């Protein structure tokens, strides 16, 4: 199942930047919900933009 692949690579040591405002995202984060726990996404502390673990903007 592909879900295990996602979980395995959840930890991403590359620096991420907000796709909207270019704010650098902290490596250590507090997930805002189950989606961020599952997908390793992030929420920009500067503009509130939600992104996935690759730094792409998410709708929700
Ligand atoms: Zn931002």
Q: Tens digits of per-residue pLDDT, 19-42?
A: 999 999 887 666 677 766 776 778
Q: For residue 24, how far is its CA from the centre of ligand 1 (angstroms)?
A: 8
pLDDT at 20: 93
Q: Is the pLDDT of residue 47 over 90?
A: yes
Ligand 1 is an ion; residues with CB less than 5 A from it: 18, 20-21, 23, 44, 46-47, 49
For the record, the structure tokens of 10 come out as 């959840």
Q: Is the pLDDT of residue 48 over 80?
A: yes
Residues in Cβ contact with 40 at an 8 Å cutoff, skipping those fewer than 6 apart: 6, 10, 11, 12, 52, 53
Q: For residue 22, how far is its CA from the centre of ligand 1 (angstroms)?
A: 6
**% of the chain beyond a pLDDT of 70:** 63
Give long-range contacts, CB 8 A cutoff, 24+ apart: 33-39: 35/60, 38/6, 38/7, 39/6, 39/10
Q: For residue 25, how far is its CA from the centre of ligand 1 (angstroms)?
A: 9
């Amino acid at each position: 199942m592909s879900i295990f692949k996602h979980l395995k690579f959840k930890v991403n040591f590359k620096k991420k930047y907000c796709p909207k405002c270019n704010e650098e995202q902290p490596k250590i984060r507090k997930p805002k919900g189950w989606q961020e726990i599952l997908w390793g996404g992030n929420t920009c502390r500067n503009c509130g933009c939600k992104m996935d673990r690759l730094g792409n903007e998410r709708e929700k």
